[in-house]
């Protein structure tokens, strides 16, 4: 992977997302592009204090939002990238946020976004309308940043036997080779809860063993929407990988799959890509 695109609200940069994106870029040896979107109707409520605005990142990994102008937001981003020794470039865009991000995603390997991100004054339910639109239309894989990033020790590949789920596993593996030494879990939810491996499971796990040091299979009994949420609720240090089953079915994806519940409830990085 060579180019990561991070979407940032130019007036309310999320420091935790910036830190997470920089660490991801450092781990993969990638260059990171900060795409700063300006809200044309924004009126600044306060100016950022000059005193050590990056101390909050090193002392507390929880999401921290500051109110600033675009120049200061760019400075925050550039300084954090310098701390992580990551090559960077920045774009400040005053266009329509969704369309600008979709256009830029065409030229990126991976897009990182905060699921809370919006460009309005009011609070939105997670994932925000902006995040849903990006997931529906992005032209590269999307990685949703957690509020409190932690060291990843396991990658959970949610697999339902579909081509889209297998595609997501491959895309993540190709983009994130630095995770090869992490435990890789092929996780399936079925009504019967049977742990028997089908031919497709065996062949997929054989492929995964060529890329990961440790590969296991786990089966959960019940409905995916409920069981995945319960499974991940108490977990930390897990990267979740999911397929989105195609752009045309994204509304169905949110209404009937575990994706929206996971995004709303668990604080884990979630990698989602189209097939």
Domain at 255, CATH number? 3.40.50.620
Output the pLDDT for position 52. Answer: 40
- Whether 149 is covered by a domain: the verdict is no
Closest Cα to residue 184, out of 147, 205, 144, 155? 155
Q: Residue 221 sits in which domain range?
A: 154-273
CB 130 within 8 A of CB 118: yes
Calpha distance 215→213 (Å, rounded): 7
Two tokens at 4? 């990561």
Q: Which residues of the chain have pLDDT under 70?
A: 39-68, 121-122, 191-197, 245-258
CB 227 within 8 A of CB 195: no
In this structure, the answer to whether residues 39 and 103 fall within a common structural domain is yes
Q: What is the pTM of this model?
A: 0.84
Output the pLDDT for position 63. Answer: 44
Q: For residue 65, give the DSSP letter.
A: B
CB 34 within 8 A of CB 8: yes
Half-sphere exposure of 36 (CA within 13 A, CB side): 22
Output the pLDDT for position 136. Answer: 84
Output the pLDDT for position 25. Answer: 95
Calpha distance 272→26 (Å, rounded): 21
Two tokens at 180? 């090869």
In this structure, the answer to whether residues 174 and 64 fall within a common structural domain is no
Calpha distance 172→167 (Å, rounded): 9
Output the pLDDT for position 152. Answer: 94
Per the structure, the count of domains in the chain is 2
Final residue in a domain of this structure, among 101, 121, 144: 144
């Amino acid at each position: 992977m060579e180019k990561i695109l991070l979407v940032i609200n130019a007036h309310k940069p999320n420091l935790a997302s910036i830190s997470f994106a920089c660490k991801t870029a450092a781990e993969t040896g990638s260059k990171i592009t900060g795409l700063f979107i300006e809200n044309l109707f924004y009126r600044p409520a306060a100016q950022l204090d000059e005193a050590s605005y990056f101390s909050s990142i090193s002392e507390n990994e929880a999401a921290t939002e500051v109110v600033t102008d675009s120049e200061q937001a760019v400075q925050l981003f550039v300084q954090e990238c310098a701390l992580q020794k990551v090559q960077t470039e920045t774009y400040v865009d005053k266009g329509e946020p969704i369309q600008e991000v979709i256009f830029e995603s065409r030229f990126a390997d991976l897009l990182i976004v905060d699921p809370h991100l919006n460009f309005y004054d009011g609070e939105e339910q997670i994932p925000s309308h902006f995040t849903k639109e990006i997931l529906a239309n992005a032209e590269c894989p999307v990685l949703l940043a957690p509020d409190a990033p932690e060291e990843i020790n396991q990658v959970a590949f949610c697999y339902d036997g579909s081509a889209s789920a297998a595609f997501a596993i491959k895309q993540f593996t190709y983009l994130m080779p630095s995770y090869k030494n992490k435990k890789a879990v092929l996780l399936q939810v079925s009504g019967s809860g049977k742990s028997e491996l089908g031919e497709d499971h065996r062949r997929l796990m054989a492929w995964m063993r060529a890329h990961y040091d440790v590969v296991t299979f786990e089966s959960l009994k019940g409905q995916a929407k409920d069981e995945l949420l319960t499974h991940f609720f108490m977990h930390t240090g897990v990267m979740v990988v999911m397929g989105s089953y195609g752009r045309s079915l994204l509304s169905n994806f949110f209404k009937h799959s575990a994706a929206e519940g996971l995004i709303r409830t668990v604080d884990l990085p979630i990698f989602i890509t189209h097939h």
